[in-house]
Amino acid sequence: MKLWGGRFREDENKLMEDFNRSLHVDKRLYFEDIKGSIAHVNMLVKCDLLTRNEGESIKRSLLSILEDIESGTLPIEGDFEDIHSFVEATLTERIGETAKKLHTARSRNDQVALDTRLYAKNKALEVLEQIEDLQHNLVEKAKENNVIMPGYTHLQRAQVVTLKHHLMAYFSMLDRDRKRILNAIEILDESPLGCGALAGTTHTIDREMTAKELGFSKPMNNFLDGVSDRDYLLELTSGFSIIMMHVSRLSEELILWSSQEFKFISIDDAYSTGSSIMPQKKNPDAAELIRGKTGRVYGSLTSLLTTMKGLPLAYNKDMQEDKEPFFDALDTVLSCLKIMSKMISTMKVHTENMKKAVNDGFLNATEVADYLVSKGVAFRDAHSIVGSIVIYCEDHDKPIEELTLAELKSLNPLVDEDLYEFIDYQNILNKGIKVNLLK
């Protein structure tokens, strides 16, 4: 069944039919399509564009179609152009001519826009749930592991931090992600139903009613914009891209930390794989896959931006290409958030290895400079002095805190016994200037 064709003298070429078909992609919109149609029917009845009996007949059949799809007795398949023609054809098959009245005061353009917007809103809420689940697991793992570890810049040991503080940095990133998705939901929360093809309808309809029934804050103001706006897909996919960037960075940390060179953590066997030839290997493939799939989501964003960049108002068939990249980005970000959440909740932390890395890394060198500043030395001079101390430590294979007072004084006479307390790692963390590290 086609939803168009009356003005054509010849049948569509079979190759064109296949090229034009999108059912295999947009079939996942069946729930939103039926939900939107039921709201539309309720409005048509209220506005006397359908009789009450006609409305009830259409709604009952739509609900039976929904039930049959979800039970598996009605597979979404066949030579239908899209999910909209599938639902309407099935409705016509079940109740006959009355089904043809469903499309009164509605275009496929505002129907497509409505279905996609409803789906995006619902799935964005699911992404929020997964972000919050990962945040919860980061907090729990952080609480369990308020232990010292090296903080890095340039992937070189820099200053002492805690694993708790390190993990909570990712909590903060995800909190910004959460706010971005919430903002996108707020912006997209407008109903395009009633915009028609691009110029509304000559029928007297109630757009406020359908917007309210479908859970939107209001109808869209401009009909042209209503059927051609895909900003919400771009904004959500942009948000997904930033989420993926964050979990990719965390994946990189987990990959490094689980290596034999670091040995800071162990990733649970459930989220690791082995080698087909090297029996000793335990590979962090879950983290590596997240890191790899990040580019896939970036590609979806670029695809959407490229599709939309040159389109005149209003609807153009190019926009059929909006769903596949959005769906792929959505599926990818949901699966990656779920896997990362499981990896964090099950990973084991090797605290002694972290402490050893702190002791071997001269991570209190900055505090030695601060100490000398407290004795009246200019910071630039203190920086140079501590550089000499580090060279001495490297030459004698000692950390700064294990140098004798005599050795320290030989390097700078201002050093006294109180330096040892000043550069103790736990004292460093407890100092007021770094109290935030423990939060």
Q: What is the pTM of this model?
A: 0.91
pLDDT tens readout for residues 113-154: 999 999 999 999 999 999 999 999 999 999 999 999 999 999
Instruction: State the first-to-last Cα distance of the chain, in angstroms, to the nearest integer.
Output: 62
pLDDT exceeds cutoff 70 at 101: yes
pLDDT exceeds cutoff 90 at 361: no
Side-chain-facing half-sphere of 269: CA atoms under 13 Å: 0
pLDDT for 17 equals: 80
17's tokens: 């039919």
* Confidence category of residue 19, pLDDT binned at 50, 70, 90: confident
Closest of 412, 311, 421 to residue 364, by C-alpha: 421
pLDDT for 24 equals: 95
Active site residue 154: yes
pLDDT exceeds cutoff 70 at 434: no
C-alpha pair distances (Å), 305 with each of 296, 300, 325, 355: 14, 9, 11, 47
* Confidence category of residue 190, pLDDT binned at 50, 70, 90: very high
pLDDT for 4 equals: 44
pLDDT for 300 equals: 98
Q: In whole numbers, what is the pLDDT of the chain averaged over residues?
A: 94
C-alpha pair distances (Å), 255 with each of 60, 97, 157: 54, 62, 17
pLDDT tens readout for residues 305-343: 999 999 999 999 999 999 999 999 999 999 999 999 999
Residue pair 246/336 in contact by the 8 Å Cβ criterion: no
* Confidence category of residue 242, pLDDT binned at 50, 70, 90: very high
Residue pair 352/324 in contact by the 8 Å Cβ criterion: no
pLDDT tens readout for residues 191-216: 999 999 999 999 999 999 999 999 99
Active site residue 303: no
Residue pair 389/414 in contact by the 8 Å Cβ criterion: no
Looking at residue 296, its amino acid is R
pLDDT for 2 equals: 55
Least confident of 51-60, 179-188, 274-283, 379-388: 274-283
What is the percent of the chain with per-residue pLDDT over 70, rounded to a whole number? 95
Average pLDDT over residues 10-32: 85
pLDDT exceeds cutoff 70 at 13: no
CB count, 10 Å around CB of 250? 24
Given 172, 259, 275, 410, which residue is catalytic?
Answer: 275
Residue 167 CA from chain centroid, whole number: 18
pLDDT for 275 equals: 77
pLDDT for 12 equals: 62
pLDDT for 139 equals: 98
Residue pair 235/184 in contact by the 8 Å Cβ criterion: yes
Question: What does the alpha-carbon distance between residue 386 and residue 419 come to, in Å, rounded to a whole number?
Answer: 13
Average pLDDT over residues 93-103: 97
Residue pair 191/177 in contact by the 8 Å Cβ criterion: no
Residue pair 350/263 in contact by the 8 Å Cβ criterion: yes
